[in-house]
């Protein structure tokens, strides 16, 4: 129990976080509204929702500069599609209008160019009357991201785990330079092996996420370039090891290179993205909103932190196993 | 820090290189050939971005070529002899300084040839002092990183091939920063914008030299 409690903790955290990452539904949202222009007169609007339960009794209105227009007829096709008829009056004050369906807001839904001094407010936007849905525990539903928001719980922990493993590696390398021990060298290289695996997983999960949200598997983004170069550096570390036959010399030279490699990892993953953040498409960089802006009620964090802890523990566990099997291989070879 | 020892080692480097003038001739010929190949391949005007990129690519390869040999001289007995005579830290500092001077001279010379063959219209609208500072700092950066890498490669007993594999990813942050800085300088951007990159470059140089200073004794020991 004393030795494997953290392994059970890793399994428990990963199970909970991964199941929740797939299980938790997205909160309802309006994803598509057509047409995008309205003019005074009768307008037929098609609304597409996601995870919604449209009913003919739902409250639908257009909001224009604080003034509301109610729907004159609502026809629900199914739970996520509705046809709405509106009588748009003359004299809307602002050119952009928002659409509200069942308490869900689609900001800037319509554009109209025939403007006036305002309309008679029919008061159907009265907030108290909106039948608020209580969807329970949900993830934020944002355009572009949509369901891919779940990837946050897989993509980001991979990088955290890689950084921890490379940190373990450089720690053993520095220690090994001091005491010339081959044990330290074995630990350093085992950590790099597992760290590279997590780097590969981070790149893969990132590539699929990029395809879904940015439109391409690979883009010219500072963080992507940094990750790619970090991978190259650690692959070069393995090549360096492979080219030195003498074990003690290999331990010393690769430890020196490892210190360099870790310095560049820190530079590439922490300093450079902040220096020219303009080049980044990543959330939280270059003026993009970060996940903390989406995650106002901390629902992502509740899953994200256990996922990070779980993956880091799993990575450490894998490193431990790899190191022990390498030690056994050395012992059997002797 | 033993200044006298470093100066002595520096003098040794200069004397050895003066004795082997073919090495410097080789480096220059390499740059001139590379520039000439580019001239033949390009034929005609280059945009600022391409002009800048091509220059740095030529300089990068020239740096690898020039600095790869910086620890090849010490093989077997000579390394041991030097080890007994001098502090390894003085050795690495002297060699870094010597390589930095080499790279500065080489980068300015290659800029001259490059402007001669591939046109200097680009430089007309540039902030020249800024661009020269970028060139000098870039050469300095390549020298600091590649000195340590060439030492590792030479100790691993596998010269140029290993040097390229180990060096390219490590030199990349330097290259990216210096390319960006020199592109901005060529566009004639104000100091207030480019100073971030120059500061970053200097910081990278300082970190690299410090790491070399700390790590080299371990590398030098056998």
Instruction: Region of A144 please: left (phi>0), alpha (psi -120 to 50) or beta.
Output: left
Q: Does B85 touch chain A (CB under 8 A)?
A: no
Same domain, yes or no: A199 and A282: yes
**B169·A233 Cβ contact <8 A:** yes
Contacts of A255 in chain B (CB under 8 A): 218
| Interface contact flag, A272 B204, Cβ < 8 Å | no
Q: How many CB atoms lie within 10 A of CB B219?
A: 23
Q: Which of B180, B215, B222 sits opposite A259 (nearest CB)?
A: B215
CATH number of the CATH domain containing A61: 2.60.40
Question: Shortest Cα distance from B93 to chain A (angstroms)?
Answer: 17
The verdict on A180 and A109 lying in the same domain is: no
pLDDT in tens, B69-84: 777 777 767 777 777 7
Residues A177 and A302 in one domain: yes
CA dihedral A203, A209, A210, A213 (to 10 degrees): -170
Instruction: Tell me the nearest-neighbour CA distance from B117 into chain A, angstroms.
Output: 31
**Using the 8-state DSSP alphabet, how is residue B45 labeled?**
-
Handedness of CA A251, A331, A163, A145 (dihedral sign): positive
Is residue A5 one of the residues assigned to a domain?
no
pLDDT of A269: 82
For residue B174, the chain A residue with the least C-alpha distance is A264
- Please tell me whether residues A192 and A312 are part of one structural domain: yes
A177, A109: one domain:
no
* Residue contact A177–B215, C-beta within 8 A: yes
Domain span at A96 = 31-129
Q: Number of residue pairs across A and B with CB atoms under 8 Å? A: 65
What's the mean pLDDT in B16-39?
87
The DSSP call for residue B69 is G
Q: Which of residues 131-190 of B touch A (CB under 8 A)?
A: 148, 152, 155-158, 162, 165-166, 168-170, 172-173, 176, 180
ipTM of the modeled complex: 0.87
* Residue-number span of the structural domain to which B57 is assigned: 3-220
Token pair listed for B152: 């590792």
| Contact check, Cβ <8 Å, B158/A264 | no
What pLDDT, on the 0 to 100 scale, is given for residue A17?
92
pLDDT in tens, chain A (334 residues): 567 888 999 999 999 999 998 898 888 888 888 888 888 888 899 999 888 888 888 888 888 887 888 888 888 888 889 998 888 888 888 888 888 888 888 888 888 887 777 777 665 655 544 555 566 788 888 778 888 889 999 999 999 999 999 999 999 999 999 888 899 999 999 999 999 999 999 999 999 999 988 888 998 888 888 899 899 999 999 999 998 888 998 999 999 999 989 998 888 888 777 766 566 778 766 566 677 666 666 778 888 999 999 999 999 999 999 999 999 999 998 7
Closest in B152, B157, B170 to A264, CB measured: B170
Q: Does residue A117 sit within a domain?
A: yes
A196 with A221, same domain?
yes
- pLDDT at position A284: 67
Per-residue confidence (pLDDT) for residue B48, from 0 to 100? 86
Interface touch B196/A177, C-beta < 8 Å: no
Residue B16 confidence (pLDDT): 83
Question: How many domains does chain B contain in total?
Answer: 1
B152:A253 CB<8 A: yes
Q: Do A240 and B157 touch (CB under 8 A)?
A: no
- Clarify whether residues A179 and A322 are in a common domain: yes
Nearest CA in chain A to B154: A253
User: Is residue B179 over pLDDT 50?
Assistant: yes
Residues 183..212 of B with a Cβ closer than 8 Å to A: which? 196, 200, 204, 207, 211
d(C-alpha B10, C-alpha A242), whole Å: 34
Residue B174 — pLDDT band, cuts 50, 70, 90? Answer: confident
pLDDT score recorded for residue B121: 81
Please tell me whether residues A165 and A233 are part of one structural domain: yes
CB A192 within 8 A of CB A258: yes
Chain A residues with CB under 8 Å of a chain B CB are 177, 225, 229, 232-233, 236, 239-240, 243-244, 249, 252-253, 255-257, 259-261, 263-264, 267-268, 272, 275-276
Determine whether the interchain pair B196/A264 forms a contact, defined as Cβ–Cβ distance below 8 Å: no
Q: In the structure, how many helices (H) and strands (E) does chain B have?
A: 9, 0
pLDDT tens digits, B100-152: 999 999 999 999 999 888 888 888 888 888 899 999 888 888 999 999 888 88
Share of chain B above pLDDT 70, in %: 97
CB contact under 8 A, A252 and B158: no
- Residue to mutate among B218, B220, B221, B222, with most A CBs inside 10 A, is B218
How many structural domains compose chain A? 2
**Average pLDDT for B163-176:** 87
Cα A12 → chain centroid:
22
Q: What are the tokens at B11?
A: 């003098």
Interface contact B155-A249, CB threshold 8 A: yes
Two tokens at A161? 């785990």
CB-based contact B211 A259, cutoff 8 Å: yes
Contacts of B211 in chain A (CB under 8 A): 259-260, 263
A121 in a domain, yes or no? Answer: yes
Would the pLDDT of B221 be above 80?
no
Say yes or no: A47 and A186 in one domain. Answer: no
pLDDT given at position B23: 80
> Which of A104, A120, A114, A105 is closest to A38 using CA atoms?
A114
Q: Are A210 and A280 contained in the same domain?
A: yes
């Amino acid at each position: 129990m004393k030795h494997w409690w953290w392994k059970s903790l890793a399994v428990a955290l990963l199970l909970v976080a991964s199941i929740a990452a797939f299980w938790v539904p997205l909160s309802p949202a309006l994803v598509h509204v057509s047409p995008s222009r309205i003019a005074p007169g009768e307008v037929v609007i098609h609304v597409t929702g996601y995870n919604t339960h449209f009913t003919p009794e739902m409250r639908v209105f257009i909001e224009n500069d604080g003034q509301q227009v109610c729907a004159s007829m609502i026809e629900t096709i199914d739970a996520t599609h509705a046809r709405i008829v509106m009588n748009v009056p003359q004299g809307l004050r602002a050119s952009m209008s928002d659409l509200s369906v069942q308490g869900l807001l689609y900001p800037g839904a319509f554009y109209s160019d025939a403007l006036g001094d305002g309309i008679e407010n029919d008061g159907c936007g009265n907030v108290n009357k909106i039948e608020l849905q209580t969807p329970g525990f949900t993830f934020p539903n944002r355009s572009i991201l949509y369901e891919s928001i779940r990837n946050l719980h897989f993509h980001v922990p991979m990088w955290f785990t890689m950084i921890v493993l490379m940190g373990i590696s450089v720690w053993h390398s520095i220690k090994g330079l001091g005491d010339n021990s081959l044990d330290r060298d074995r630990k350093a290289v085992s950590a790099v092996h597992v760290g590279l695996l997590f780097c590969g997983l981070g790149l893969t999960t990132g590539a699929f996420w990029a395809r879904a949200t940015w439109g391409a598997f690979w883009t010219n983004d500072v963080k992507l370039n940094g990750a790619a170069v970090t991978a190259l550096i650690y692959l070069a570390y393995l090549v360096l090891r492979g080219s030195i036959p003498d074990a003690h010399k290999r331990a010393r030279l690769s430890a020196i290179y490892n210190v360099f490699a870790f310095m560049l990892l820190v530079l590439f993953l922490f300093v450079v993205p902040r220096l020219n953040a303009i080049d980044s498409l990543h959330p939280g960089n270059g003026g993009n909103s970060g996940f903390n802006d989406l995650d106002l009620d901390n629902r992502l964090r509740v899953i994200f932190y256990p996922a990070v802890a779980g993956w880091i523990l799993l990575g450490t566990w894998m490193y431990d196993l790899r190191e022990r099997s390498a030690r056994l291989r050395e012992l059997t070879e002797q | 820090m033993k200044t006298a020892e470093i100066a002595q080692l520096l003098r040794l480097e200069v004397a050895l290189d003066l004795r082997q003038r073919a090495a410097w001739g080789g480096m220059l010929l390499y740059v001139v050939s590379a520039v000439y190949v580019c001239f033949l391949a390009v034929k005609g005007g280059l945009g600022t971005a391409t002009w800048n990129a091509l220059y740095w690519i030529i300089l990068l390869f020239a740096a690898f070529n020039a600095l790869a040999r910086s620890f090849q001289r010490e093989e077997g007995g000579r390394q041991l002899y030097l080890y007994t005579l001098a502090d390894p830290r003085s050795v690495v500092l002297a060699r870094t300084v010597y390589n930095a001077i080499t790279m500065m001279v080489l980068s300015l010379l290659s800029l001259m040839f490059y402007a001669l063959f591939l046109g200097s219209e680009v430089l007309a609208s540039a902030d020249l002092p800024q661009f020269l500072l970028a060139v000098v700092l870039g050469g300095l950066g390549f020298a600091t990183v590649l000195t340590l890498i060439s030492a590792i490669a030479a100790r691993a007993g596998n010269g140029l091939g290993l040097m390229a594999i180990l060096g390219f990813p490590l030199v990349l942050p330097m290259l990216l920063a210096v390319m960006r800085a020199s592109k901005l300088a060529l566009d004639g951007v104000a100091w207030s914008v480019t100073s971030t990159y120059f500061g970053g470059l200097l910081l990278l140089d300082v970190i690299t030299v410090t790491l070399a200073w700390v790590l080299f004794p371990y590398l030098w020991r056998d």
